Amino acid sequence: MIRLNIEEYAWNKHELQIKETHDFTYSSPKIKIVDNNDLRNQLEETLEKLPQKLLAKWALRVAVAHLDHLDSHLVKDPRIELGIETLEKRITGDIRAFDLRKVGFIVNELAKESTTEASKYAARSFAQAIATGHMRGHAMVSSDYAVKLVNCISNNSSVAEAATKERERQLRIVEELL
């Protein structure tokens, strides 16, 4: 695992302060999902050890893999490339969080323009991934929206299995980045 300097942990002062003054605790999903809670907790614990730069790269990889679930009128939307390029600039330190947040609001419009549930969840996962360049907490929300997407596209008998496979994929992405 990576040796983490506190300055690398978070770019947001509030999140840095929380890290310095509180012990790690698992979060609860902000949305209703069928999930593998053990794998979610394992993932969250693993992500806690990553610097924000790697966390943002991870969130982007998790979300981009699901962009093929966007409605056909959104699949080649230029806001997708804008979001990716902006997050990459944030990761390299070429733009401020303020600039990234402005683009985040633009990218979030993809979910509002979605006509299907699958597209809406794919777009929300992507928007939350972009927002990870502002605050770490958005990474798990992005991850949970990816699980919500697989919940949505799975038939009722395989929802839990699909959620487990998605969490395993998310954990593999962390391993690949390391």
Q: Give pLDDT, residue 136.
A: 93
Predicted confidence band of residue 127 (pLDDT cuts 50, 70, 90): very high
- The rounded distance, in Å, linking the Cα atoms of 22 and 60 is 27
Report yes or no: 133 and 88 within 8 Å, Cβ to Cβ: no
**Counting beta carbons within 10 angstroms of the beta carbon of residue 101, is it exposed (0 to 12), middle (13 to 18) or buried (19 or more)?**
middle
Which of these, 13, 7, 29, 52, lies nearest to 142 by C-alpha position? 29
Local structure of 4: helix, strand or coil = coil
User: CB 45: neighbour CB atoms within 10 A?
Assistant: 11
Report yes or no: 47 and 139 within 8 Å, Cβ to Cβ: yes
- The rounded distance, in Å, linking the Cα atoms of 88 and 116 is 28
Provide the mean pLDDT of the chain: 93
pLDDT of residue 109 exceeding 80 = yes
Report yes or no: 139 and 55 within 8 Å, Cβ to Cβ: yes
Average pLDDT rounded to a whole number, residues 127-148? 96
- The rounded distance, in Å, linking the Cα atoms of 97 and 100 is 5
Over the stretch 164-178, which tens digit does the pLDDT of each residue have? 999 999 999 999 998
Average pLDDT rounded to a whole number, residues 91-108? 95
More confident: 167 or 23: 167
- HSE-up of residue 13 (Cα within 13 Å, Cβ side): 0
